[in-house]
Structure 1
């Protein structure tokens, strides 16, 4: 196998471990809640705490990779993630579980963006779309296998075994990284922006965790709002700091690049809608439909199976129609498939549920692949580490916000009724709201020029495959 294909597959080993962990825990949340004597909605903290840790520590990933070498940082990140997985399997309370998930997030914060950085620096731009597809194909095995494996283990064994599965995968990842990952580093690395790291860490933690605390009955609403306010103030001061710093930890000047702005900010709004799905679907199937975790997992895995199928067709689709047209049209299609889940009912044939999730996963994955590739279309190699850090932070913040929004809707609906239980109708409202949030991202893609990402949308060594209609023609046909 060619070296440029081998490196993405090795990085995908780490992504597989992370994605398997995320999808498995989503399926097992109700069972974990019972074992830890917690309300199922309270377990959103297990999801958001991990995403929060990613958002806080990802900004430093690019600098550490430049300073200490990508192989060293990538390998250490896998070790930290594996240790966090072991501790999660030993947790005895929600507090323990949240703390250990944060440790996992610290490893994931370095593992995924550094791996992506290695690919972006070693693969020619004309092959980035294909390389990212190679990267995500094995990683998508995590979401495909996660729900049925997690459901099977939770139903017939113990949910703690889920986290122990990461240990052999982590050991394999360390060996492969040591043998094949290039130790890329920069010669002239600027000083670490500690001031910016503290401000952005407090700001992101306050915003993400504050929204997660809303609806948490163990915490007064004023406390959650105070945490959000602290986060907002810290982010305000970070913006001021970043404007007067040559190399801030999160480089806001990258947003001046139109393709990066659309691929990060626009995609973030889409991910707010998508981030709710791994939280809502298992809860609805288990609490609303009365399914076992195993039965629930067998149905929800269809979404990831559809996503995996798309990875083989992403590059040809983008080459045929161009980034702008694909992002606009596909945004509507993917959002519709999210909203359709609001009409799921317990008496519906399982084949219909699986079919909707299968096609929905296909179109959601096409949107993610397109935005991920477009984000780096006009980024120089020198700025690539800062761009990957920024994009990864935005991704995790938006996904965690989606989980918080979904949980807040469910909690608000049951509080409005006053009976303290979650009804099937509550999920219909939640799916409708998150679908509307996702479709709003189309306004960012409409602003893209017709030839956005043209260099990526061509075969290596060929002329651009993106049509060259006059301004407005491509947008009108979309």
Structure 2
């Protein structure tokens, strides 16, 4: 019998009806995820104004996004172990507290290094909130209500990108960007109160020792490589220091790769990449996500710095992609059932890459309504690709390896998204310097959009190696999840 931390039997339903428990617990987790999603989408709309306040050009603020992703990618692999070791309720409310602390640090930041550090702290909190929240739902909700409970979690994923950009644009245009982070505080405090009141601290058997060696190698290697790449061409450190960080990070990751092949249960089990469907989902998906990860950074920047829009107008246009994503979620299962994973992943990657590259065609004379419609369609194809990639990842994974597969997939996904921002920033910076403009203009952006569109196309050769019947059972069952 599973026990609470206080030794009582794990019968959370004794304190509330099962139907209420199946609603309130997922709602608490969903609120935390909503806070995280809105925070991320709010920020990208405010980057140009924020950059000027901190005394840097907007391209340099890619560090604010990359540092958050590094925090996510580094700590996601150990979340399951930490939740089992200390109890999911304790870890979940601590994660909310860490996210709030990072928010306060960001709101009080007066220079770029402090702001980057604050975003990293937020990333640590975000890394624990989402996976641990899912663990709480799995352990707290009866199986008969599990599907309905999980459906509640789609709400923040859908609403965050819709609400975030216009909200961030409104706050930045008419108030002050620091209020973006202050908004998180009352939401976080309410979330901690609800967690204490409605979530039990159920513990499993002791998870055993953590692979500290593997965690240290992978975490330090990924952090140094990503941070070094983000600092290339910036004003914070010299290029020689940036390159040295990249080389050291790559060396540590190589050492981890060799280490992981020799130990029984590494923190990130790379041997799972030998499974064809998982390999296509993770490796092909990482190339695709490099392209898509750059869009939330590049598009608001072009709309404001290149086309002269206010943050609020840019936010109302940026959120159009979320509506396209919502529409595709309603038909994704039917599309996969009709065409299969392999054909969808190949042809849809081509369409998504072209959609991203088309953003390079926006000029100051392009009507706002036309831009909005193009961005709307630009959200349809990535949504289908993400649904396909995330579903295919588990098509051939044994149930005993689902947890380890999730860790590998989640880390690679986050690193890919961060690389997208970094690559786009570097290409934009090079384009700007080569064209010799005193400030960023709209013609500086087309090489960056073209480059990230090509990354999406680069995933096609990987997914083309899939057997024709890959994920056939999932496709026919119509169970694809975004």
Query: Partner residue of 1:439?
Result: 457
Say yes or no: does 1:331 pair with 2:340: no
Output the CA distance in 2 between the equivalents of 1:456 and 1:132. 18
**In the TM superposition, what are the counterparts of 1:228-377 in structure 2 within 5 Å?**
228-377=246-395
Distance 1:325 1:116, change over 3 A: farther
Distance 1:149 1:23, change over 3 A: same
Give per-residue Cα distances to partners, 1:347-367, cap 9 Å, x unaligned: 111111111111111221121
Query: Secondary structure of 2:236's match?
Result: coil
Query: Partner residue of 1:91?
Result: 109
Distance 1:8 1:357, change over 3 A: farther
Equivalent of residue 411 in structure 1, options 425, 429, 435: 429
Output the CA distance in 1 between the equivalents of 2:20 and 2:280. 32
TM-fit CA distance, 1:165: 1.6
Distance 1:143 1:375, change over 3 A: same
Q: Is the 8 A contact 2:171 2:180 kept in 1?
A: yes
Distance 1:201 1:430, change over 3 A: same
TM-fit CA distance, 1:24: 0.8
Unaligned residue ranges in structure 1 (runs of 5+): 467-478
Query: Partner residue of 1:457?
Result: 475
Query: Secondary structure of 1:276's match?
Result: helix
Say yes or no: does 1:211 pair with 2:233: no
TM-fit CA distance, 1:79: 2.1
Distance 1:8 1:361, change over 3 A: farther
Query: Partner residue of 1:108?
Result: 126
Output the CA distance in 2 between the equivalents of 1:176 and 1:316. 38
Q: Is the 8 A contact 1:19 1:140 kept in 2?
A: no
Output the CA distance in 2 between the equivalents of 1:382 and 1:358. 40
Output the CA distance in 2 between the equivalents of 1:119 and 1:454. 29
Distance 1:327 1:169, change over 3 A: farther
Equivalent of residue 173 in structure 1, options 186, 191, 196: 191
Give per-residue Cα distances to partners, 1:311-354, cap 9 Å, x unaligned: 23333333343322322222111111101101111111111111
Output the CA distance in 1 between the equivalents of 2:229 and 2:81. 29
Say yes or no: does 1:49 pair with 2:94: no
Query: Partner residue of 1:192?
Result: 210
Query: Partner residue of 1:27?
Result: 45
Output the CA distance in 1 between the equivalents of 2:346 and 2:198. 38
Query: Secondary structure of 1:383's match?
Result: helix
TM-fit CA distance, 1:160: 0.7
TM-fit CA distance, 1:4: 7.1
Equivalent of residue 88 in structure 2, options 70, 74, 83: 70
Equivalent of residue 16 in structure 1, options 34, 46, 58: 34
Query: Secondary structure of 2:258's match?
Result: helix
Distance 1:311 1:173, change over 3 A: farther
Query: Partner residue of 2:398?
Result: 380
Query: Partner residue of 1:226?
Result: 244
TM-fit CA distance, 1:453: 2.6
**CA RMSD between the two structures:** 2.8
Query: Partner residue of 1:163?
Result: 181
Output the CA distance in 1 between the equivalents of 2:450 and 2:473. 37
Give per-residue Cα distances to partners, 1:144-184, cap 9 Å, x unaligned: 11111111110110001111122233234335555666766
Give per-residue Cα distances to partners, 1:28-80, cap 9 Å, x unaligned: 00111111122211111111111111122222112223333434323321221
Output the CA distance in 1 between the equivalents of 2:338 and 2:188. 38
Number of equivalences: 462
Q: Is the 8 A contact 1:62 1:388 kept in 2?
A: no
Output the CA distance in 2 between the equivalents of 1:380 and 1:9. 30
Output the CA distance in 1 between the equivalents of 2:335 and 2:466. 18
Q: Is the 8 A contact 2:290 2:455 kept in 1?
A: yes
Q: Is the 8 A contact 2:37 2:156 kept in 1?
A: no
Say yes or no: does 1:58 pair with 2:76: yes
Output the CA distance in 1 between the equivalents of 2:132 and 2:39. 19
Output the CA distance in 2 between the equivalents of 1:291 and 1:15. 29
Output the CA distance in 2 between the equivalents of 1:108 and 1:378. 29
Output the CA distance in 1 between the equivalents of 2:351 and 2:317. 21
Give per-residue Cα distances to partners, 1:178-235, cap 9 Å, x unaligned: 5666766543623111111111111101111111011213322111110000001111
Output the CA distance in 2 between the equivalents of 1:345 and 1:124. 54
Give per-residue Cα distances to partners, 1:125-152, cap 9 Å, x unaligned: 9x99998765334322111111111111
Distance 1:345 1:4, change over 3 A: farther
Say yes or no: does 1:401 pair with 2:400: no
Distance 1:87 1:268, change over 3 A: same
Query: Partner residue of 2:408?
Result: 390
Q: Is the 8 A contact 1:266 1:441 kept in 2?
A: yes
Query: Secondary structure of 2:181's match?
Result: helix
Output the CA distance in 2 between the equivalents of 1:320 and 1:191. 46
Query: Partner residue of 2:16?
Result: none
Unaligned residue ranges in structure 2 (runs of 5+): 1-18
Query: Secondary structure of 1:449's match?
Result: coil
Q: Is the 8 A contact 1:150 1:293 kept in 2?
A: yes
Tell which deviates more after alignment, 266-275 or 11-20: 11-20
Output the CA distance in 2 between the equivalents of 1:260 and 1:124. 30
Q: Is the 8 A contact 1:62 1:389 kept in 2?
A: no
